[in-house]
Structure 1
Amino acid sequence: MAEETPVITQYLGIKKQHPNDVLFFRLGDFYEMFNEDALEVSRLLNLTLTHKGDNPMCGIPYHSAKGYIARLLRMGKKVAVAEQVGEVAKRGLTERKVVEVVTPGTAVESEYLDGGSNNFLASIFISGGFAGLAYIDVTTGEFRATKFPEYKFAENVSKELGRCSPKEIILPESLKNNKEIQTILETISVASVSWYPDWHFNAEKNYEHLVKQFKVANLNSFSLTKESPEVPPAGFLLDYIEKTTNAPVSHISGISVYQDSQFVIIDDSSRRNLEITFNLRDGTSSYTLLESVSNTKTAMGSRLLRSWLSFPLTNENEINSRQNHVELFVKDRNLLHCVRENLDGILDVERLAGRIAMDRAHAKDLQALKASLKFWLKSQAVLERYDFSMPEKDSAQKIIDLIENSIAEDPATVFTEGRIIKDGWSEELDYWKKVRNDFNGILEEYIESEKEKTGIQNLKIKSTGNLGYFIEVTKGKLDKIPPHFIMRRTLLNAERYTTEKLQELENSLNESGAKILELEHNLFIEVRNELKKYIPYLQQAAKKIAYVDVVCSFAESAILYNWNRPHVLSDSLEFSVKNGRHPVVERHLPAGEFVPNDVSLCGSEPENSASFALITGPNMAGKSTFLRQNALIALLAQTGSFVPADEANIGIVDRIFCRVGASDNLARGESTFLVEMTETARILRSATQNSLVIMDEVGRGTSTEDGLSIAWAVSEYLLNTLKCKTFFATHYHELTRLEHKSLKRLCMAVAENGSDIVFLRKVVEGSSENSYGIHVARLAGIPESVIERAGKILEKIQGDASVIIPETETEEVSKNKVEIFSGSLFSEEELVLDEILSCDIDNMTPMVALQNILRWKKSLAEK
Structure 2
Amino acid sequence: IRDYYTAHGENATFIAKAYYHTMTALRQLGGNSDGISSVSVSRAMFETIARNLLLDRTDHTLELYEGSGSSWRLTKSGTPGNIGSFEDILFANNDMQFSPVTVALFPVFRDGQLYVALSFVDMTNRKLGLAEFPEDSRFTNVESALVALGCKECLLPADFEKSIDLQPLQDAISNCSILLTERKKAEFKSRDLVQDLGRIIRGSVEPVRDLLSQFDYALGALGALVSYAELLADDTNYGNYTIEKFNLDRCMRLDSAAVRALNIVEGKTDVNKNFSLFGLMNRTCTAGMGKRLLNKWLKQPLIDVNEINNRLDMVQAFAEDPELRQGLRQQLKRISDIDRLTHALRKKSANLQPVVKLYQSCSRIPYIKGVLQQYNGQFSTSVMTRFLSSLEEWLTENRYGRFANLVETAIDLGQVDNGEYRISPLYSSDLAVLKDELSGVENHINNLHMHTATDLDLSVDKQLKLEKGPFGHVFRISKKDEQKVRKKLTTNYIIIETRKDGVKFTSAKLKKLGDQYQSLLGDYTSCQKKIVDNVVQVSCTFSEVFENFAAIISELDVLQSFADLAISCPVPYVRPDITTSEEGDIILQGSRHPCVEAQDGVNFIPNDCTLARGKSWFQIITGPNMGGKSTFIRQVGVNVLMAQVGSFVPCDQASISVRDCIFARVGAGDCQLRGVSTFMQEMLETASILKGASEKSLIIIDELGRGTSTYDGFGLAWAICEHLVEVTRAPTLFATHFHELTALANKNGDQHQHVPDLGIANYHVGAHIDPSSRKLTMLYKLFIMIMSLFSIGSCVQKVEPGSCDQSFGIHVAEFANFPEAVIALAKSKAEELEDFTSAPNLSGEPSDEVGSKRKRVFSPDDVTRGAARARLLLEDFSALPLDEVDGSKATEMVAKLKSDFENDAASNPWLQQFL
Superposition deviation, residue 310 in structure 1 = 0.3
Distance 1:363 1:844, change over 3 A: farther
Superposition deviation, residue 579 in structure 1 = 0.5
**Counterpart residue identity of residue 148, structure 2:** R
Query: What residue in structure 2 maps to residue 544 of structure 1?
Result: 552
SS at match of 1:202: coil
Query: What residue in structure 2 maps to residue 657 of structure 1?
Result: 663
Query: What residue in structure 1 maps to residue 425 of structure 2?
Result: 423
Query: What residue in structure 1 maps to residue 543 of structure 2?
Result: 535
Partners of 2:177 and 2:615 lie apart in 1 by 42
1:617 and 1:769 in contact (8 A); partners too: yes
Distance 1:660 1:368, change over 3 A: same
Is residue 2:753 matched to residue 1:716? no
Query: What residue in structure 1 maps to residue 711 of structure 2?
Result: 705
Superposition deviation, residue 230 in structure 1 = 3.0
Query: What residue in structure 2 maps to residue 119 of structure 1?
Result: 100
Superposition deviation, residue 306 in structure 1 = 0.7
Deviations 1:173-225 (A, max 9, x none): 335984334434544423x5443323332113233322332242334587432
Deviations 1:651-676 (A, max 9, x none): 11111111121322222332222222
**Pairing 1:283-302 to 2, within 5 Å after superposition:** 287-298=275-286, 299-302=288-291
Query: What residue in structure 1 maps to residue 151 of structure 2?
Result: 166
Query: What residue in structure 2 maps to residue 763 of structure 1?
Result: 782
Is residue 2:273 matched to residue 1:273? no
**Counterpart residue identity of residue 705, structure 1:** Y
**Counterpart residue identity of residue 90, structure 2:** Y
Query: What residue in structure 1 maps to residue 335 of structure 2?
Result: 346
The two structures have a TM-score, normalised by structure 1, of 0.74
Partners of 1:597 and 1:671 lie apart in 2 by 35
Q: Out of 60, 82, 85, which is 1:106 matched to?
A: 82
Partners of 2:13 and 2:778 lie apart in 1 by 55
**Counterpart residue identity of residue 692, structure 1:** L
Is residue 2:734 matched to residue 1:728? yes
Is residue 2:309 matched to residue 1:324? no
Q: Out of 597, 604, 607, which is 1:594 matched to?
A: 604
**Pairing 1:556-635 to 2, within 5 Å after superposition:** 556-561=564-569, 562-570=572-580, 571-590=582-601, 593-602=603-612, 609-635=615-641
**Counterpart residue identity of residue 166, structure 1:** C
**Pairing 1:213-228 to 2, within 5 Å after superposition:** 213-214=200-201, 215-219=203-207, 223-225=211-213, 227-228=215-216
Partners of 2:427 and 2:310 lie apart in 1 by 46
2:140 and 2:172 in contact (8 A); partners too: no
Partners of 2:436 and 2:70 lie apart in 1 by 35
2:626 and 2:767 in contact (8 A); partners too: no
Uncovered stretches (5+) of structure 1, i.e. residues with no partner = 1-25, 85-92, 442-508, 808-812, 824-836, 854-863
The two structures have a TM-score, normalised by structure 2, of 0.70
Is residue 2:361 matched to residue 1:372? yes
Superposition deviation, residue 360 in structure 1 = 4.3
SS at match of 2:425: coil
**Counterpart residue identity of residue 136, structure 1:** V
1:697 and 1:731 in contact (8 A); partners too: yes
When structure 1 is superposed on structure 2, of 751-760 and 362-371 the one drifting more is 751-760
1:279 and 1:286 in contact (8 A); partners too: no
Superposition deviation, residue 355 in structure 1 = 1.5
SS at match of 1:255: strand
Query: What residue in structure 2 maps to residue 745 of structure 1?
Result: 762
Is residue 2:382 matched to residue 1:406? no
Q: Out of 764, 777, 780, which is 2:816 matched to?
A: 780
Partners of 2:235 and 2:415 lie apart in 1 by 24
**Pairing 1:55-204 to 2, within 5 Å after superposition:** 73=54, 76-79=60-63, 101-108=77-84, 109-113=87-91, 114-126=95-107, 129=110, 130-149=115-134, 151-152=136-137, 154-174=139-159, 178-190=166-178, 192-204=179-191
Distance 1:786 1:351, change over 3 A: same
Superposition deviation, residue 625 in structure 1 = 0.7
**Counterpart residue identity of residue 330, structure 2:** E
Deviations 1:593-612 (A, max 9, x none): 21111121225xxxx73311
Q: Out of 769, 783, 790, which is 2:826 matched to?
A: 790
Partners of 1:662 and 1:262 lie apart in 2 by 29
Distance 1:312 1:709, change over 3 A: same
Distance 1:31 1:82, change over 3 A: farther
Distance 1:345 1:661, change over 3 A: same
**Counterpart residue identity of residue 63, structure 2:** V
Superposition deviation, residue 537 in structure 1 = 0.9
1:42 and 1:48 in contact (8 A); partners too: no
2:138 and 2:688 in contact (8 A); partners too: no
1:132 and 1:229 in contact (8 A); partners too: yes
Superposition deviation, residue 255 in structure 1 = 2.2
Query: What residue in structure 2 maps to residue 206 of structure 1?
Result: 193
Partners of 2:133 and 2:422 lie apart in 1 by 51
Q: Out of 300, 310, 313, which is 2:302 matched to?
A: 313
When structure 1 is superposed on structure 2, of 55-64 and 226-235 the one drifting more is 55-64
Q: Out of 317, 324, 327, which is 1:335 matched to?
A: 324
Superposition deviation, residue 576 in structure 1 = 0.7
When structure 1 is superposed on structure 2, of 371-380 and 124-133 the one drifting more is 124-133
Deviations 1:750-798 (A, max 9, x none): 6799999987421012211222122112122222222233333333433
Query: What residue in structure 1 maps to residue 248 of structure 2?
Result: 260
When structure 1 is superposed on structure 2, of 544-553 and 780-789 the one drifting more is 780-789
Distance 1:513 1:796, change over 3 A: closer
Deviations 1:363-400 (A, max 9, x none): 32222222211223321221146333333313334433
1:362 and 1:413 in contact (8 A); partners too: no
Distance 1:725 1:514, change over 3 A: closer
Partners of 2:175 and 2:680 lie apart in 1 by 16
2:236 and 2:348 in contact (8 A); partners too: yes
Identity within the alignment, %:
27
Superposition deviation, residue 636 in structure 1 = 0.8
**Counterpart residue identity of residue 403, structure 1:** V
Superposition deviation, residue 340 in structure 1 = 1.3
Superposition deviation, residue 578 in structure 1 = 0.5
SS at match of 1:276: coil
When structure 1 is superposed on structure 2, of 636-645 and 222-231 the one drifting more is 222-231
Distance 1:314 1:70, change over 3 A: closer
Partners of 2:347 and 2:7 lie apart in 1 by 31
